Structure 1
Amino acid sequence: MKAIQYKDYGSSDVIEWVEVTIPAIRNKKDVLIRVQALGVNPIDIKIRMGLMKEVRPVEMPFTPGGEASGIIVAVGDEVSGFKVGDEVIALTKTNAYAEYVTANENFLVLKPQLLSFVEAASIGVNIGTAQSVLFTAGKLEKGQRVLIQGGAGAAGAAMVQMAKAIGAYVIATASGNGLQLAKSLGADEVIDYKLQDVTALVKDVDLVADTAGGEAQQKLFQVLKPGGTLLSIVVPPSKELAEKHQVKASFVASDISAKTLENGIELIRSGTFKPIVSKIFKLREAALAQDLLTAGGLNGKVVLTVN
């Protein structure tokens, strides 16, 4: 089969289009999936650049990719919830940039019929991240005010929709076409972070969900009410600023599994959640796709297709 691999850390130049053996099922709870599409995530780039090697070292040559959609072609002896022919979304953690991939059944969900394979490949990490930030860590409830920094990005767009679905008051930062996108997804207020000062426009927020990081993160402490919470999926927030503003702040490492997708998948089936795909590339164009994501400014998810 064809796959994307690299033999050393570095820029996108290390990425190779190679022929490898179709993976075998080694765990009785695993399935083998013929991949149709797969999502491109920031962590794919961080791993490739060696930024994660202290906490997530990988064995070279390495095939990246943490999420895919496809069709089950074989199942392990103890798989009980899925069968050959099922169309699924798989949270693979690695190895999804390939024509075939194995995954444990605890990290699979049936693909909603109303979604294409491309749309299905775009939601797993986003929904799992939104669930982890907003509800597992953030304890967001109906009627609370949440600011989503980067509300038109891949994860941010999922957060806007899932926060709105429970009845939260949603404020999203974005720019350009992302302003209208965030509004269309349900944001009650949208702020152009390039032209407007969020600290002058927003106060007394219960929860800040930061998907952007950088210097902008430090300003976000000012919009929280005392006792509020700032959670980031990018870099750990300042403990000193948290103490100064009498709020809680922490980095969230998303716990993404079939269980954390349940809420989002139900919202998709009810028509409350819409996948947002920004750009589609062929699998062999993985380097171009990752470079586009690195450049930033995208609204929605970058997806690779196998066929």
Structure 2
Amino acid sequence: MKAIQYQTYGTSDVIEQVEIPAPLIQSENDVLIQVKAVGVNPVDMKIRMGFMKAIRPVEMPFIPGGEAAGIIIAIGKSVSKFKVGDEVIAVPMKHAYAQYVTVNENFVLLKPQGLSFEEAASIAVNIGTAQSVLFTEGRLEKGQQVLIQGGGGAVGSAMIQMAKAAGAYVIATASGKGFALAKSLGADHVVDYKLQDVVGIIKNVDLVADTAGGQGQEKLFQVLKPGGKLLSIVSPPSQQLAEQYHVKAYFVASDLSSKILQNGMDLLGAGKLKPIVSKTFKLEQAAIAQDFLTTGGVNGKVVLLVE
């Protein structure tokens, strides 16, 4: 099969397309998927650059890719949720940049009929991360205020839609095309962070969901009300500032199991959540796709199409 891999950590120059044997089902709870599309996520580049080797070491040569959509072509003997021929969304966590991938059935969902494969490959990490931050950890409730830092990005756009569906008042930061996107997705208030300082405008929010990180993260403590939460998917927030502002603040690792993804899938089915695909590339253009996402300012998801 065709696959994208690298032999060592480094820039996108280490990425190469290879021909290797297709994987075989190793566990009785696995399914084998013919991949049709793959989502490209920032963590793909962090792993490739070696930034995560302390907590997510990989065995070289390594095939990246944490989410995919495709068709099941074989199942393990104990698989009960799926059958051969099912069109599915999967979160294998690795090895998805390929024509075939094996995945435990607990990280697989049936693809909604109305979604294309490229749309389906763009949503799992987004909704799993949004669910983990907003509801599992953030405990966001109807009527509360949430500030989404980075509302024009792939995860931020899912957060806007899921928070609105839960009845929250949604504030988002964005700029350029992302500003219009955040508005179109239902954000009640969008702050153009290139023109305005969010600290001078927003106060007393219940939850800050930080998808951007960087130096601006420390400012976000000032918009929270006492007892609020600052949750980041990028970097651990300052505990000193958390104590100073009498709030809780911590890094959130996403739960991408099918159970956690179900709320987002239900919203998709109800028409309350739509996938946002920014740009597609062919599998062999994986290095170009990663560099495109790395440049920043991408509104929505980057997806690889697999033939």
- The TM-score normalised by the length of structure 1 is 1.00
Match of 1:163 in 2: 163
Match of 1:301 in 2: 301
Match of 2:18 in 1: 18
Match of 2:181 in 1: 181
Alpha-carbon separation, structure 2, partners of 1:297 and 1:182: 13
Alpha-carbon separation, structure 1, partners of 2:125 and 2:79: 23
Could you report, residue by residue, the CA deviation over 1:169-200 in whole angstroms, capped at 9, with x for unpaired residues? 00000000111100111100000001101001
Secondary structure (helix, strand or coil) at the match of 2:43 reads helix
Matched residue type, 2:190: V
Secondary structure (helix, strand or coil) at the match of 1:60 reads coil
Alpha-carbon separation, structure 1, partners of 2:288 and 2:216: 28
Alpha-carbon separation, structure 2, partners of 1:166 and 1:278: 25
Match of 1:4 in 2: 4
Give the 4+ runs in structure 1 shifted more than 6 A: none
Matched residue type, 2:17: W
Match of 1:144 in 2: 144
Matched residue type, 1:287: A
Could you report, residue by residue, the CA deviation over 1:83-141 in whole angstroms, capped at 9, with x for unpaired residues? 00000000000000000000010000000001000000000000000000000000000
Secondary structure (helix, strand or coil) at the match of 1:228 reads strand
Alpha-carbon separation, structure 1, partners of 2:252 and 2:83: 34
Match of 2:223 in 1: 223
Match of 2:59 in 1: 59
Match of 1:201 in 2: 201
Matched residue type, 1:41: N
Q: CA deviation at 1:255?
A: 1.1
Alpha-carbon separation, structure 2, partners of 1:58 and 1:123: 24
C-alpha RMSD over aligned residues = 0.4
Matched residue type, 1:272: K
| Aligned residues with identical type, % of pairs | 71
Secondary structure (helix, strand or coil) at the match of 1:118 reads helix
Gaps of 5+ in 2: none
Secondary structure (helix, strand or coil) at the match of 2:285 reads helix
Q: CA deviation at 1:76?
A: 0.6
Alpha-carbon separation, structure 1, partners of 2:177 and 2:48: 30
Alpha-carbon separation, structure 2, partners of 1:112 and 1:229: 34
Secondary structure (helix, strand or coil) at the match of 1:27 reads coil
Secondary structure (helix, strand or coil) at the match of 1:199 reads helix
Q: CA deviation at 1:240?
A: 0.7
Alpha-carbon separation, structure 1, partners of 2:163 and 2:290: 28
Match of 1:27 in 2: 27
Matched residue type, 1:197: D
Match of 2:239 in 1: 239
Alpha-carbon separation, structure 1, partners of 2:122 and 2:231: 23
Matched residue type, 1:191: V
Secondary structure (helix, strand or coil) at the match of 1:299 reads coil
Q: Are residue 76 (structure 1) and residue 76 (structure 2) matched?
A: yes
Alpha-carbon separation, structure 2, partners of 1:291 and 1:152: 18
Match of 1:111 in 2: 111
Matched residue type, 2:12: S
Secondary structure (helix, strand or coil) at the match of 1:115 reads coil
Matched residue type, 1:278: S
Alpha-carbon separation, structure 2, partners of 1:300 and 1:187: 15
